Amino acid sequence: MIAVALTSLIAFLLYLLTEWRGRKRQEGEPPLIKGWIPYIGKALEFGRDAHKFLTSYKEKYGDIFTVRIAGKYMTFIMDPVLYPNVIKHGRQLDFHEFSDQVAPVTFGYPPIRSAKFPGMDEEIQKSYRLLQGENLSSLTENMMGNLQLLFRQDYLGEEGEWRTGDMYRFCNQVMFEATFMTMYGKPTHSTRHAGMAALREKFEKFDAMFPLLIAQIPISLLGATKAIRDDLIHFFLPEKMSAWCGSSRFIQRRTEVFEQYDLLGDLDKAAHHFAILWASVGNTVPATFWATYYLATHPDALAAVRGELDRVLQLEGWESGPPPNITLTLEQLDSLLYLGSAISESLRLSSASMNIRVAQEDFTLRLERGRSITVRKGDVIALYPQSVHMDPDIFQDPEVYKFDRFVEDGREKTDFYKHGQKLKYYRMPFGSGSTKCPGRYFAVNEMKQFLSLLLLYFDVEVLEGQKKVALDSSRAGLGVLLPASEVRFRYRPRQP
């Protein structure tokens, strides 16, 4: 027994010695912060508060430094002036290596960039065009109809009666079901799917484990998560989806692509559809909550947004109150400057995505004004936009919500500066470059529609006596942060 213990101790000490003698900073490389915990490095500190962690190291080491986080060496570029130099290196710095590792394991489908599925990745990438451009018009029309259906059936009670509820839950219930119906269609003989509440609850449980899955923690170690994911995947089996009608052209095209590959089983196809559900609501729901919360707690913002909505309806001939069926076209939604700015501002305050690129070779990354850094193959280059969003040199009073921050002289404001230089990347809730979220236009459109109908149909008030809601930083790096607590609010059909 003693011999086994001694052997284990010696092995551990040798491991520590190897770690201590491991990677050293070489000439031309940024400052290296490894941390004292083997493999883990600085992962625990980063996970507690990524923004605070990175800000402190920026103050100590400058705009570029490398940190070991959970076995990966991640070089953070903290100056947005340098972002274009990173984003343009598409050959040496690739996003797909990271996504190809984590997405299949997270959602339960086989890797598609393989000889088993030739050409599938290219076809899937092409399908995302159906979420943009002229295709947005039909998505907008369907989403508007689905939102109004849910509001009328579930929330528009007797005139004048206040109803109370939890704001995040309210946003989640409406956006989850409306988005689902817009993307996947409805049952052939019904206006709504049965079991949607149960599906949403399972989705929430899976989503709670999402950060651990992305961190590549085996799903077998996460309790009931594997069984929950299996149930979610089964909801999208081909025989079930074949009984739905009115699905989006985007989902129809993906289904057509999947049918071309005999080696892709029914469960694999269903897992792909489940992944799109997560992509459609995983960040849009919390983003919708924050936009709603900030409007509801800032009367001047709510009045300005509601005012421009009323003016749009007045141009359509509606002088008193909203019509029973509201139709806002894509062009009309785009014309709502204050609404667009309010959404952009809430995203600035709540989004904490991380833009990741993996070095495909050893190379020298050339930056501004003759600067350069040496990058090793396999290292991760990371941009952390929250540091830009909260930079007082770029945004005056960055902690303060200003609904009109992105409006200037009657148009969208796009001029923001750092070190006297105009920034190309100053607001990045959806990523950057070729890896930008392909569904970003649809997501923003959904939020505009939800908020438009909410403010036109309802009076909304946050109940008094509640603390300001904080951000839950546990999902830092993965998109829009969730609220750390619920918000109690009340609503009623809008009074004249």
Residue ranges for the binding site for heme?
437
Three-state secondary-structure class, residue 422: strand
Q: Which residues are annotated as a binding site?
A: 283, 437
CA distance 87 to 435: 9
Which two tokens mark 444? Answer: 């923003």
CA distance 307 to 156: 21
Q: How far apart are CA 228 and CA 250, in angstroms?
A: 26
Q: What are phi and psi of 370, to 5 degrees?
A: 80, 0
Phi-psi category of residue 237: left, alpha or beta, with phi > 0 → left and psi -120 to 50 → alpha: beta
Backbone angles phi, psi at 380, to 5 degrees: -105, 130
Which residues make Cβ contacts (< 8 Å) with residue 331, sequence separation at least 6?
A: none
Separation of alpha carbons 97 and 95, rounded Å? 6
C-alpha 311/C-alpha 304 separation (Å) is 11
Q: Which residues are CB-contacts of 21 (< 8 A; sequence separation ≥ 6)? A: none
Q: Which helix (H) or strand (E) holds 446?
A: helix 440-457
Q: Using alpha carbons only, how large is the chain's radius of gyration in Å?
A: 24
DSSP state of 395: S
Residue 1, classed as helix, strand or coil, is coil
- DSSP letter for 221, please: G
Whether the CB-CB separation of 137 and 164 falls below 8 Å is answered with no
Dihedral sign, Cα of residue 328, residue 334, residue 339, residue 342:
positive
Q: Which two tokens stand for residue 473?
A: 């930083």
Q: Are 354 and 69 in contact (CB under 8 A)?
A: no
* CB distance 488 to 462 below 8 Å: yes
Task: Summarize the annotated binding site for substrate as residue ranges.
Answer: 283
All residues at 6 or more sequence positions from 87 whose CB lies less than 8 Å from its CB, including other chains: 425, 432, 433
Q: Give the contacts of 370 (CB within 8 A, at least 6 positions apart).
A: none
